[in-house]
Structures are given as C-alpha cells and as structure tokens.
Amino acid sequence: MPERNETARAPEHEAEGPVVQAQSKTKAFFKKFLQRKTAVASAVFLLLLLIVAVVGPGMAPYDPAAPDYENLLTGPSAAHLLGTDEYGRDVLSRLMAGTQLTLGVSLSSVIIGAAIGTVLGVLAGYYGGILETLVMRGSDVLFAFPDILLAIAIVAMIGPGIINVVIAVAVFTIPSFARIMRSATLSVKESLYVEVARSIGCKNGRILSRYVFPGTVQSMIVNFTMRVGTAILAAASLSFLGFGANVSEPDWGAMLTSGRNYIGVASHLVYFPGLLIFLTVLAFNLLGDGLRDTLDPKIK
Amino acid sequence: MSRYFVKRVLGTIPMMLVISILIFLFLHMIPGDPARQMAGKEATEEDLVKIRQELGLNDPLITQYKNYMEGLFHGDLGVSYKTGLPVSEMLLGRLKPTIELMLTAMVWSVLLGIFIGVLSAVKRGKFADYIGMFLAISGISVPGFWLGLVLIQIFSVNLGLVPTGGLDSWQSFILPSLTLGCGIMAVLARFSRSSMLETMREDYVRTARAKGQKEWLVVLRHAFRNSLVQVVTVTGLQIGGLLAGSVLVETVFSIPGMGRLLVDSIAFRDYKVIQAELLFFSLEYIVINLIVDLLYGVLNPKIRYQ
C-alpha cells in the first residue's frame, strides 16, 4: 500500500518541474519566434486588425453607413483616403467597420470547426476502434467535396446569410482538424509520460485532458492559424458568389462584390477590399508558417 | 501489381456509395418543403403537387433512392426545373469549357510550381529562394476572384491585350487560366521545395556528390526523381480541386461552364441540377485521387508490396 501511494504521488512531486520547464519553454519559444521577422510582422499586423475590430467604428473617420450624395464614387483623396463608394460612403471607414464582421465570421467558424474536429480527432486517436473508423471515414467523405465546394453545397442547402456561412465554413473546417489531431494524438499516446500516467491508474478522462491533449496543442495552434486564412477566403468567396453577407453590409467580401459593378469607373472599390483580404490571409499564413517552424520544425 | 490496382479500385466503391446517398439526401435535408423552396412563395397548391410528383417526393425514401440510382446508371439525372431540359444534357453542354480551362491552368501551374520549388530548394537561403517562396505564399493567400478582377482591369480594360471574358479565342484563355492555376502553382512550389530539401539530405544524394557527379545531375537524377513520388500525390489532390475553383473563375470571367451552372442553379434553387453537379464534382475528385493512388503505386514499389 505505501508503495502505491508513493508512486501515485510521483506526478505531484514532478509538478514543480513542469512549471519551471513550461516557463523556460515559453521563453525559448519567444526567443525562436522573434527571430522570424515575417512572422513577427504578421503578428503585429493582425494585432492591429484585432484592435480595429474591437474599437473600429469608434476610430473610423466617418460614419460607415452615412451616404454623401455629393461625393459618389470619388477616388482616394485627402478627405477620403481610400475614396468613396456608390452612395458616397467612406471606403476606409467601411473597411474598418467591416474588420469586426470579417474577422468575426472567420474566427467563429474556425473556432467551432476546430473544437468539433479536435474532440473527434483526439477521441478517435486515443480510443481507436470503431470510433476511429467512423471519424476517419466521415472525414474522407467530407474531403471528397473539393475545396470550397462543401461550403457551397451547405449554403445551397440551408440558404445564404452570414450565420449560414459560419456554419458552412465550420463544417468545411472539421475534417482537417479531425485528421491532424488524430495523428498528433496517435504519436502522443505512445509517449512514455502517457504510459506512466496509465500505469499509475489514471482514468482515461484525466489522461486525455492532462496529458494527451496538451501534447497535441502545438499541432492545433498551427493548423488553427492557417485555417483562419482559408476561412476568410472561403467566406469572401461565398459573399462574392452571392451566398454570404448582404451586399449592403460592410463585410470585406460583400464590399468587393458590390464594388465589382463599378470597376470601370471606380476600381478602388475592388482594389482596396481585395488587397485587405489578401494581406490579412497572407499575415495568417506567414504567422502559421512561423509558428510551425518554431513549434515543430519536423512538420515543415 | 494487379492485386494492388484491384484493391484500390474496389476500395473506392463504398466511398462512392456513401457520397451518392448523401447527395441523394441533399434534397431531403433542405429545411422546409423543397417543392415550396423551388416554386417560390406565390406558387399554388397545384404547382406544389406537380413539383413533388416530378421530384418523386411522394414515394417512400427507399423507393426514391432506388429510382435515383437506377436513373444514375442509365445516365438519367432528372429534369431541370428551370429549363425543362434533361440535366445530363445540360451538364454535357457545359463540360467542354470547364475541361479546357482546367487543362490550360493545369499545364502551366504544375510545371512552374515544381520548377519554383526545385529552384528554391537548390538555392536555399538565397535571393531566388526568397522570391520563389514569396510568390508561393502570395499565391496561396490571394483571393482568386479578386486576382481575376484585377487582371481583367489591367490587361483587358487598361491595356486592351486580352478579352474580358468568354472562351472564344486562345487569348481569352490566358487570364482565366492564370487565375485558376495560381493557387496550385503556389501549393506545388511550397511542397516541391520541402520535398526536395528532404531528399537532398538523403545518403544516396551525398553518395552521388561524393562520386563527383555534376551538381545538376545530382539534383535532377537523384534528388528530383525521388521527391517526385510525393509531389505527384499533392499534384493529384490539387488538380481534383481545380474543378471547384472553376466555380469562382467562371463567374468572374463569364464562362458558361460547369462552375457557372452550379452558381446559377443555386440562385434558382434548381435542385436536380445542383444534385447532379455535386455528384459530378465529388466523383471527379474521388476518381482523380484513385488515379493518383495508382500512379503512386507505379512510382513507389514500396507502397505496392505493403
């Protein structure tokens, strides 16, 4: 009996170790990450966007919804840095207001997709058997609809609109997380520390939450960052096809769609929203690349 | 070898069945009454009864699926609600522009993507590598439809070099094919680079160098040939996705292909056409994946004998 208690207490003795280890790991991570200039620049850009998303409408030079019929479709000028649209609304203010909507749609859809995909992938990898077969074959079926076709199919079924775009992009995100998290779980499952936890009698729930899941977090973070970029592109594409946000809303994709009708006379209505989508997706991809190289150079 | 082929071909049948069931159920998963959705708010009860009968919605689900599968095997995909034409006829009419567009996009993007990837790996850390990888990450991040619009504005409207839309001459293929292939070029460049870097670390490459073989021969004969196995897989997956990409490109360039038909059918809630299109797109993806798998077996004997 005493022997058993000693063994059972072993992880608690080690508890101080992991805290110190985690701190030094975090330091090492930042040291390595800060060396990657493009990733750092992307992180700064995204942070700025996030600030704009939170306080955007307050910072905007004009009311994004206020029309100005004396300044219709004017190009960039000192008064309107990025010009005005077909109702004379300030493009910069609309882009700032749209940051909230665009990032909100893509982040929420990836969070939902990542949560479902991660739970399914971790459980499939840990328990194996029929659950694994079901999750993996389910992912295969979803993967059989290439690219954004799955999102288009879902929107075709449940109808257009922002909420439906979130659902469609979330579903389209699930299989990639399920696959990546399953393979990450499979390798963590074989680790010595998981075996030790099992041998001292830890229950499956505890092993999963305390040992297996934390071991797979790195893969999840990298995939999450990359998928946000994909989600922005998918949501903008759906808007462009007329299945997403209403064209009157200041969503970047919707702005581009309505601006398309005036490309001949006011090309800035197409250039600026598109450029912003491009730069944001580029920043997420560069950040994802940087995180991947820092956290796990093996998967490069 | 033939055992591997038969196994792989048979392995896709369950997947195709599941996909066919899902796409069949598509009509039944539409919230509310599909007949009402198709006919619109002003439709009379008589119209709805007629549509339900045409769609076979009054039969038991199993009978509906049986009829659907029987129709599929006979090439009967139903009749379009919007045009009254057989769906199979409509799809066939739209196939040519899409396939032509796919092929032109495929050729340049695969060749250029692999070339950039190999060059970046060979010149790792040098200027060419940075340029190559900058192009690649930009290609992955750029919204295809926006790129298409910008290209039209610059090369068609401002410079007047190429037509703004349609596929009437060889010049009209240039911009849509550039737009469609951009993403694939980018993915292949990134993948070929990392695959080449991996193989260039292998012992056999070091041995080839130690034997005094010329560097370009080491790169082409030893490293590139071996990295090709992995590159083929990714190429296949990307080509499969081209058809889906055509949805956006055909919309931007007003090309009357399969992708454009899908968008129009969704706008008109022409469910039979949507169903047929989804089936076609997903089967195409599965078949291309199968071909890639078989090719993988040919290129890599280890896979065949596992």
Provide the CATH number for the domain around residue A205. 1.10.3720.10
* Region for A83 from its dihedrals, namely left if φ exceeds 0, alpha if ψ lies in -120 to 50, beta otherwise: left
Total of domains in chain A: 1
pLDDT of residue A299: 44
Count the Cβ atoms, other than its own, within 10 Å of residue B216: 9
Q: How far is B212 from chain A (nearest CA, A)?
A: 30
Q: How far is B208 from chain A (nearest CA, A)?
A: 25
CB neighbour list of residue B54: distance below 8 Å, 6 or more residues apart: B79, B81
pTM: 0.86
Q: Report how far residue B236's alpha carbon sits from residue A162's, in angstroms, rounded to the nearest whole number.
A: 33
- Tell me whether residue A148 is in a domain: yes
User: How far does chain A reach from its first CA to its final CA, in angstroms?
Assistant: 48
CB contact under 8 A, B149 and A274: yes
Contact call for residues B190 and A286 (beta carbons, < 8 A) = no
Q: Is the ipTM of this complex over 0.90?
A: no
Q: How far is B19 from chain A (nearest CA, A)?
A: 7
Q: Where are the alpha helices (DSSP H) in chain A?
A: 2-14, 16-34, 37-59, 91-127, 129-143, 149-158, 162-189, 192-199, 204-206, 213-240, 252-259, 268-295
- Tell me whether residue A234 is in a domain: yes
CB contact under 8 A, B15 and A141: yes
Nearest to B137 among A147, A264, A282 (CB): A282
Closest CA to B245 of B147, B132, B116: B147
Residue ranges making up the domain that contains A214: 38-50+89-295
CB contact under 8 A, A274 and B248: no
CB contact under 8 A, A153 and B248: no
List the structure tokens of A124. 């499939």
For B32, name the nearest residue in chain A, comparing CA atoms only.
Answer: A158
A243: which chain B residues are within 8 Å (Cβ-Cβ)? 266
Contact call for residues A144 and B285 (beta carbons, < 8 A) = yes
- Tell me whether residue A14 is in a domain: no
List the structure tokens of A93. 């203010």
- Tell me whether residue A60 is in a domain: no
- Tell me whether residue A24 is in a domain: no
Count the Cβ atoms, other than its own, within 10 Å of residue A265: 11
What is the biggest distance separating any 2 CA atoms in chain A, rounded to whole angstroms? 87
- What dihedral angle (degrees, nearest 10) is formed by the CA atoms of A280, A285, A286, A287? 90
The tokens 């060396």 sit on which residue?
Answer: A35
For B147, name the nearest residue in chain A, comparing CA atoms only.
Answer: A274
Tally C-beta pairs within 8 A across A and B: 112
DSSP at B40: -
- Tell me whether residue A23 is in a domain: no
CB neighbour list of residue B175: distance below 8 Å, 6 or more residues apart: B148, B151, B152, B155, B156, B162, B253
A146: which chain B residues are within 8 Å (Cβ-Cβ)? 240-241, 243-244, 281-282, 285
For B154, name the nearest residue in chain A, comparing CA atoms only.
Answer: A267
C-alpha B59 chain-centroid distance: 35
CB neighbour list of residue A179: distance below 8 Å, 6 or more residues apart: A121, A136, A139
Nearest to A236 among B30, B143, B251 (CB): B143
pLDDT of residue B25: 85
Contact call for residues A273 and B143 (beta carbons, < 8 A) = no
CB contact under 8 A, B282 and A270: no
- Tell me whether residue A217 is in a domain: yes
- Tell me whether residue A15 is in a domain: no
Q: Does B210 touch chain A (CB under 8 A)?
A: no
Chain A segment 271-290 residues within 8 A of B by beta carbon are: 271, 274, 277-278, 281-282, 284-286, 289
pLDDT of residue A147: 67
Residues of chain B with pLDDT under 50: none
Closest CA to A68 of A36, A94, A47, A30: A94
Residues of chain A with pLDDT under 50: 1-15, 299-300
Contact call for residues B206 and B218 (beta carbons, < 8 A) = no
CB contact under 8 A, B31 and A158: yes
Closest CA to A149 of B70, B107, B277: B277
pLDDT of residue B31: 73
The β-bridge partners of A90 are: A84
Q: B233-252: buried (b, 16+ CB within 10 Å) or exposed (e) per residue?
A: bbbbbbbbbbbbbbbbbbbb
A37: which chain B residues are within 8 Å (Cβ-Cβ)? none
List the structure tokens of B158. 């401002």
Q: How far is B287 from chain A (nearest CA, A)?
A: 10
Q: Does A142 touch chain B (CB under 8 A)?
A: no
